[in-house]
Amino acid sequence: MFRMVGFFMLLISQSYLLHSIETTFTHFNFVSLVHLFAVTGIIAGMFLNFLNQFTPQNKRQYQQPPEQLPYVVAVIPTYNEPIDILEQTVLSLKALDYPKDLLQIIISDDGHNQHIKELAQHHKVLYNPGARRDAKAGNLNSALQYIKSNLSDSAFILTQDADELIDPSFLSKTIGYFNDPKVAFVQTPKEAIAPKGDPFGVRDRIFFDALQPGRAGAGAAFSCGSGVIWRISAVESIGGFATWNLVEDLTTSYYLHIAGYSSEYHNEILTIGLSPDDIPNLLKQRGTWAADTIRIFLFKNPLYQYGLTLRQRLQYLELGLFYLTSVFFIPCLMLVPLISLATGVFPAIEGSALFPWMVVSIIYYATLSQSRLIDLLRMWQYWIGHWPTYSKSLIIALRSRYKKPAYKVTRKTHQNGFYGHLLWPQFLYIFAGVFISIRALISPGANLIAVWSNIGVFAYFAFMLSGICRAAFYGLKWNVFQMSREPHPVQQK
């Protein structure tokens, strides 16, 4: 079904692109040129997405573990996380269904916190004072050195964030994948505990349930930093966890794929954890991910990396284009109706060409998402709504070719407040669009068909931006949009 819809999408998209090219140069104006630029980029991204999702790999049946189970070390990298949250993570790891004589747990503490050291002693797990450099990657590399010195028989390292709980069956369901000596790591999807309705778009179900299986089918599923188990010898062969970027997960995966290793994606939720639930934390987290991905795209582009297969190159290329589309092509398309309504100059696009493309695009992504329409809506809202965040990340990336940007740990506690000042471009777009639309409607001699058509396009983008704008009010007692927050399992203890 997906392939059939995809081919139909390509056909309609090609027709719309050709129509846009023809009308742009037949009835040339600046607005038409902006529209053509935006549409070309978006359709190119859709074509690449279809190629990359053509043969997904949805593994849910776990591989048979080897007869002789290997020695595994579970590492919790931490930096001043709340003790009660960290303790629940330790307890979840201690409950793993795996022989206790073949499992060690290490709290690797960059903060050198005496209370955390006492927590480790209380629960009879190991404590490693982290390196205090290179953020989480440096912490994990410090843990690797500790393992090499004290637990030399260890073959695998399970990395688990300090604010995430793990299912007891995790190791029994993932360790069998390493029967293949080329497998460097196994990633699993994770669930984020979010406010009701996921107003911050942090559950990322489309990413975990639809996009990652497509990457797995191309041998390009990458680590998400937690809920992942690594082959120690593979990580050591590339010099340890990658410190070149802000966070280690994507870049380490990238280096391992370049080195010829493969990865597996076991598509079953086996971890659950905290997620940002205020705007500053959300922008910080998503901006960090964007900066890392864009830095790879700019300075270590997959098209020029020897060792990657063609399909792996295309998968990593799409990652960078995802953010650049939000930075360049989406804003240009958003500006078209506002410029047209303000100036009276409209792109000469036929509705009979535009609306079939819009409809088939929605059907394509709905099919890709397996009809998870609410999750799809959240992904779109934040892909579009984060355009200022990703633009800032692009600037940060451009300035950091030779020195990576400073990193700040994601805060684990909610901070109430109205954060409209952090989202002023989004609010400005909505208010300016409303003003311009009213002005266009009351202008004498207005082409009402063209005006209403462009107001409709503006209304679509305003609705998409409303997701992140609404989240700016989250937590305020007077908030008429108040959203209840479901407690994290850790916080229920």
Q: State the CATH number of the domain containing residue 242.
A: 3.90.550.10
pLDDT at 319: 97
Residue 402 lies in a domain: no
Residue 136 lies in a domain: yes
The per-residue DSSP string of 390-454 comes to: HHHHHHHHHT-SSSPPP--PPP-S------GGGGHHHHHHHHHHHHHHHHHHHSTT--HHHHHHH
Residue 398 lies in a domain: no
pLDDT at 477: 59
- How far lies 418's CA from each of 245, 415, 422, 486, in Å? 31, 10, 9, 20
Secondary structure class of 128 (helix, strand, coil): strand
Helices 373-385 and 351-368, interaxial angle, to 10°?
A: 120
Task: Give the total number of structural domains in the chain.
Answer: 1
Residue 63 lies in a domain: no
pLDDT at 490: 42
Residue 126 lies in a domain: yes
Catalytic residue, chosen from 163, 249, 277, 292, is: 249
pLDDT at 209: 94
Residue 287 lies in a domain: yes
- How far lies 208's CA from each of 165, 205, 222, 268, 285, in Å? 17, 5, 11, 10, 17
pTM of the model: 0.93
| Consecutive 10-residue averages of pLDDT for the chain (493 residues) | 94 95 92 96 97 90 88 96 95 97 97 96 96 90 97 97 96 96 97 87 94 96 96 98 95 98 96 92 95 97 96 98 97 96 90 86 94 92 96 96 80 73 96 97 89 94 96 68 46 39
Range of the domain at 278: 72-309
Catalytic residue, chosen from 110, 204, 209, 278, is: 110
Residue 191 lies in a domain: yes
- How far lies 95's CA from each of 20, 74, 89, 105, 149, in Å? 59, 12, 10, 11, 26
Which residue, among 252, 219, 250, has the nearest Cα to 234 in the 3D structure? Answer: 252
Residue 389 lies in a domain: no
pLDDT at 480: 43
Is 110 catalytic? The answer is yes
